[in-house]
Chain A
């Protein structure tokens, strides 16, 4: 008998994230489906932002949720929210994929993922439970836009492209110390803005 049989009268859509994660850890696929409905757009958007093509990003979404299914019992609320955990898995797996790609020969006509992003737009309207994430996105975008171009670029290359600060220094022909300073200032300015506007994950 599966856990779903034992709890089939339970309305799982009303449960909190930690309660759903507990059910997932017990083998309840319905709970995973609810968590998928809540956060798959955030995971997919992030994966697409990093990888640049829908097919690979969709594969990554499935891998991220499958890992969450396998490792749900290892999620601890004390370490942050479920969505933070899920997005950190997404980041790690996307970085792995980017580094794998970098080891492979690239086609001369392969598109730059960053440039491709401008062509990827979703027409699906944000639903109510996406409102919090939409508000965060707007505030983070405002904070990023306020950064000097060089600092914004440092964040982009490190976080979304998986480059180390040493690699960024080599790429941009700048001293390593300059890149370190840019990164430090960028994150601190972002933090000041986000603190000022009380932006944080619930």
Chain B
């Protein structure tokens, strides 16, 4: 009988076996020559084991130099030009002012607030000032009262949705729960990420889903991956994790969600195979008919 380590649930025997596997495979790991399952096992073990991390780091010192074996070659000048055009367009897009969505504010050609009309008022126009306040302010006051009441009801609606979210039941509401909406729970698959958790929601017949996750390490890069019906893994997108470690993100998939065997979140530090560092995985595959969310979270069906 093997004893369990109360901190991480790994028995000394299984840990010893994992160390032996790393010793045997550190070089293949650094070369990227292990299959996905082997690579993930070593990744997860290294989180716990400093000696194995050092063994892999030794191998990586060599593999990091292999790219320099390539015969020197220079890309054409157009690559740099195209790259810089692209990054500037990307930056400008990110910095562009939001469109004016205020229905009370007239639109201008540039989408911002209107500029002052050139020229002053005529003396005839000045006479309107005498009765303008009474004629305009009365209906304006009525409009303001109605608007305030509407804003208050909106505020109540927002409060209600926030309260719903706090009790982990709002995702379906936020998505506009339909008969086909499903909610799934992420299961931590990495020993050091056991504080991380989250939900994934979407319609199996649609190709849009929402990831809500919390307690992610904001210093790590996180990605959404899927496994298609042929078993091939595809990166869907990067997650934009907030400094707090939380993320709420709408994800567009290339095909309906029900066609995937699995959808998962992976951690990637940029120095390893991106599909190898599985951090949290869905505990069930996306079904095409039956909801599989945990009983405490209404699936909306």
Which A residues fall within an 8 A CB radius of B?
2, 27, 29, 32-33, 36-37, 40-42, 44-46, 48-49, 54, 57-58, 61-62, 65-66, 69-71, 74-76, 79-80, 84-85, 87-92, 95, 103, 117, 120-122, 124, 126, 130, 133-134, 136-137, 140-141, 144, 155, 158-160, 162-166, 168, 180, 183-184, 186-188, 190-191, 194, 199-201
CB <8 Å contact, B86 and A66? yes
Closest to A103 in B: B232
Which of B35, B69, B76, B219 is in CB contact (< 8 Å) with A76? B219
CB of A43 to closest CB in B, whole Å: 8
What separation, in Å, do the CA atoms of A70 and B83 have in the docked complex?
A: 12
Could you give 28 example pairs across A and B, Cβ below 8 Å? A27-B91, A27-B95, A29-B88, A36-B80, A40-B74, A42-B67, A44-B79, A45-B73, A49-B67, A49-B69, A54-B73, A54-B76, A57-B75, A58-B76, A61-B75, A62-B82, A70-B90, A71-B270, A79-B270, A88-B270, A122-B72, A137-B72, A158-B32, A164-B35, A180-B24, A180-B28, A183-B27, A200-B61
Compute how far the CA of A186 lies from the CA of B32 in the bound complex, rounded to whole angstroms: 14
Indicate which residue in B32, B63, B84 contacts A187 across the interface (CB closer than 8 Å): B63
How close is B7's CB to chain A, nearest CB, in angstroms?
25
User: In the complex, A88→B27 CA distance in Å?
Assistant: 16
Complex CA distance for A124 and B74, rounded to whole angstroms:
7
Choose from A44, A69, A92, A201 the contact partner of B75 (Cβ within 8 Å): A44
Contact B86–A190 (Cβ < 8 Å)? no
Measured in the bound complex, the distance between the Cα atoms of B35 and A168 in whole Å is 12
Docked pose: A162 CA to B28 CA in angstroms: 12
Are the C-beta atoms of A46 and B67 separated by less than 8 Å?
A: yes
In the complex, A144→B274 CA distance in Å?
Answer: 27
A32 to B68, CA, bound (A): 21
Q: Which B residue's beta carbon lies closest to that of A41?
A: B74
Q: Known contacts A61-B79, A79-B269; is A165 also within 8 Å of B84 by CB?
A: no
Judged by a CB distance under 8 angstroms, whether B62 is at the interface is yes
Q: Does B32 lie within 8 Å of A46, measured CB to CB?
A: no
A165 to chain B, nearest CB (A): 5
User: Contact between B270 and A137 (Cβ–Cβ < 8 Å)?
Assistant: no
Do A2 and B95 have beta carbons less than 8 Å apart? yes
**CB contact between A155 and one of B66, B80, B220 (< 8 Å): that residue:** B66
Instruction: Judge whether B59 is part of the interface by a CB distance below 8 angstroms.
Output: yes
- Asked whether A140 lies within 8 Å of B66 as measured between CB atoms, the reply is yes
- A122: chain B residues at CB < 8 Å are 71-74
Instruction: Tell me which residues from 16 to 49 in chain B have a Cβ below 8 Å from any Cβ of chain A.
Output: 24-28, 30-35
- Using Cβ atoms and an 8 Å threshold, which residues of chain A touch B80? 33, 36-37, 40
Please give, as numbers and ranges, the residues of chain A lying within 8 Å of B62 by CB-CB distance: 187, 190-191, 194
Q: B52 to chain A: closest CB distance in Å?
A: 15
How many chain-B residues does the 8 Å CB contact rule pick out?
52
Is the pair B31, A159 in contact by a Cβ cutoff of 8 Å? yes
Chain A neighbourhood of B69, CB < 8 A: 49, 137, 140-141, 144
In-complex Cβ contact of B87 among A44, A66, A103, A158 (8 A): A66
Tell me, yes or no, whether B293 is within 8 Å of chain A by CB: no
Are B35 and A88 neighbours in the complex by a CB distance under 8 Å? no
Please determine whether B31 and A155 come into contact, CB atoms closer than 8 angstroms.
yes
Task: Tell me whether B244 is interfacial, beta carbon within 8 Å.
Answer: no
Chain B proximity of A194: nearest CB distance (Å): 6
List, in ascending order, chain A residues with CB within 8 A of B30's CB: 187
Q: How far is the CB of B32 from chain A (nearest CB, A)?
A: 7
Q: What's the minimum C-beta distance from B85 to chain A, rounded to whole angstroms?
A: 10
Contact B32 A159 (CB under 8 A): yes
A32 touches B27 (CB 8 A): no
Shortest beta-carbon distance, A199 to chain B, in Å? 7
- Whether B292 is near chain A, meaning CB under 8 Å from some CB there, is no
B100 at the interface (CB under 8 A from A): no
Q: In whole Å, how far is B229's beta carbon from the nearest beta carbon of chain A?
A: 14
Q: Cβ of B79 and Cβ of A201 under 8 Å apart?
A: no
- Whether A187 pairs with B59 at a CB distance below 8 angstroms is yes
B61 touching A88, Cβ below 8 Å: no
B123 at the interface (CB under 8 A from A): no
Interface positions of B from 226 to 240, Cβ below 8 Å from A: 232, 238
CA distance A33 to B26 in the complex (A): 36
B125 an interface residue at 8 Å Cβ cutoff?
no
Q: Counting CB contacts under 8 A, is B221 at the interface?
A: yes
Q: Are B61 and A85 in contact (CB under 8 A)?
A: no
- Known contacts A32-B84, A165-B28: A46-B70 contact under CB 8 Å: yes
Given contacts A58-B79, A65-B83, A187-B27, contact A124 B34 (CB under 8 A): no
